Amino acid sequence: MGSKSTDIVWHDASVSKEERQEKNKHQSFVLWFTGLSGSGKSTLANAVSRKLFERGSHTYVLDGDNVRHGLNKDLGFSPEDRTENIRRIGEVAKLFVDSGQIVSTAFISPYREDRHQVRELLSDGEFIEVYVEASLEACEERDPKGLYKKARSGEIPSFTGINAPYEEPENPELTVNTEQKSIEESAQEVVDVLVNWNYIEEQ
Ligand SMILES: Nc1ncnc2c1ncn2[C@@H]1O[C@H](COP(=O)(O)OS(=O)(=O)O)[C@@H](OP(=O)(O)O)[C@H]1O
Ligand SMILES: Nc1ncnc2c1ncn2[C@@H]1O[C@H](COP(=O)(O)OP(=O)(O)O)[C@@H](O)[C@H]1O
């Protein structure tokens, strides 16, 4: 989408991202959790964020509660709206990264190309794609919001996994299978990887 604004001039920030990272004692980046509804994105994003917070990191979670009810409340679930949803979330995530924070996002983000566009928006290493893997059968069995039941009965016309696509990541930085690991194990695995990759300090 092209820009509608002309005559806008970029203003240099008086405090740089690098200065904020130095003060916070960690890198700033996006943990992009993607997966089917009910796969555990939100649960995991919050569990990881809690662990990071308790280690003293500056963290925030973006998910449906604070985005689809507010900023993106004008968007539905058509392919175009999902793409716009992810584009805006990507832009917001980038602002959080500029502010020196570790931002975890929990959106289905079903299209590879949309996730790729967010990656492109950020600098090298700032986009960590975490595939929250769980079979459709397991997600449908969990059905924490009763939405699969509604989708099966035809009440929701384009539900991801049932009658709308989910394009699995081809090269995610990390995959966590929530059928094989507990919430605690998966969250700890993400934190351990961040330490190993020098995104956060060992404690
Ligand atoms: N048609 C349809 N398809 C998929 N999901 C639906 C739909 N309608 C409502 N919901 C609920 O909205 C949540 C998904 O929103 P997202 O913003 O993550 O979706 S997307 O990335 O734009 O595809 C999703 O939340 P999660 O279960 O947390 O993934 C559902 O609760
Ligand atoms: N290992 C696991 N990791 C994450 N969630 C799990 C796991 N095992 C069971 N669950 C349950 O699955 C559901 C996942 O829901 P949620 O986190 O809202 O998923 P999503 O955000 O992907 O829609 C929760 O009820 C959670 O307690």
* Predicted pLDDT at 29: 98
β-sheet bridge partners, residue 102? 29, 59
**161 CB under 6 A from ligand 2?**
no
Q: Is 109 a catalytic residue?
A: yes
Degrees to nearest 5, angle at CA 158 with 152 and 160: 80
In a domain? residue 10: no
Question: Which of the ligands is closest to the CA of residue 68?
Answer: 1
Splitting the chain (203 residues) into consecutive groups of 10 residues, what average pLDDT does each group show? Answer: 79 91 95 98 98 97 94 98 98 98 98 98 98 98 97 96 98 98 98 97 90
Determine the distance separating the centroid of ligand 2 and the alpha carbon of 187, expressed in angstroms. 12
**178 CB under 6 A from ligand 2?**
yes
Structural domain count, the chain: 1
* Predicted pLDDT at 65: 85
In a domain? residue 19: no
In a domain? residue 156: yes
Distances in whole angstroms, Cα of residue 119 to Cα of each of 31, 97, 149, 158: 11, 13, 33, 26
* Predicted pLDDT at 2: 64
In a domain? residue 108: yes
Between CA 106 and CA 85 the distance in angstroms is: 12
In a domain? residue 203: no
Where do the DSSP E strands lie in the chain? 29-34, 59-63, 102-106, 127-133, 174-177
Catalytic residue among 28, 104, 109, 186: 109
Determine the distance separating the centroid of ligand 1 and the alpha carbon of 9, expressed in angstroms. 36
**27 CB under 6 A from ligand 1?**
no
Between CA 42 and CA 70 the distance in angstroms is: 17
- CATH number of the domain enclosing 38: 3.40.50.300
Q: Whose alpha carbon is nearest atom 3 of ligand 2?
A: 183
Q: Residues 184, 11: contact at Cβ < 8 Å? A: no
| Atom in ligand 1 nearest the alpha carbon of residue 164 | 3
* Predicted pLDDT at 159: 97
Range of the domain at 139: 24-196
Q: Beta-carbon neighbour count of residue 15 at 10 Å?
A: 11
Binding site feature residues for ATP: 35-42
In a domain? residue 134: yes
Q: Whose alpha carbon is nearest atom 30 of ligand 1?
A: 37
In a domain? residue 12: no
